[in-house]
Amino acid sequence: RDIHGGASGCGTSAAVLATHFLPMLTAGKIKSILLLSTGALMSPSSVMQGHNILGIAPAVRIARE
């Protein structure tokens, strides 16, 4: 069922992390990664009522020893 759930930001972040940055980390080209993915917590009813659209930005640090 199509519910227009979004998630393009988290999918893109995961794809770029897995295909570009993790290989660089494992090869020793970089020591640490700070991944900060942003997104909007949109609700159609909130928007129609004139409420603010909340944002979220989880951060994850991945480092090698």
Beta strand pairing status for 59-63 and 39-41?
A: unpaired
Q: Is the pTM of this model over 0.85?
A: no
pLDDT one-digit tens code per residue, 29-59:
999 999 998 888 777 787 788 888 888 888 9
Of the chain, the percentage scoring pLDDT greater than 90 comes to 40
User: Which one has a higher pLDDT value, 56 or 23?
Assistant: 23
Question: Using an 8 Å Cβ cutoff, are 64 and 25 in contact?
Answer: yes
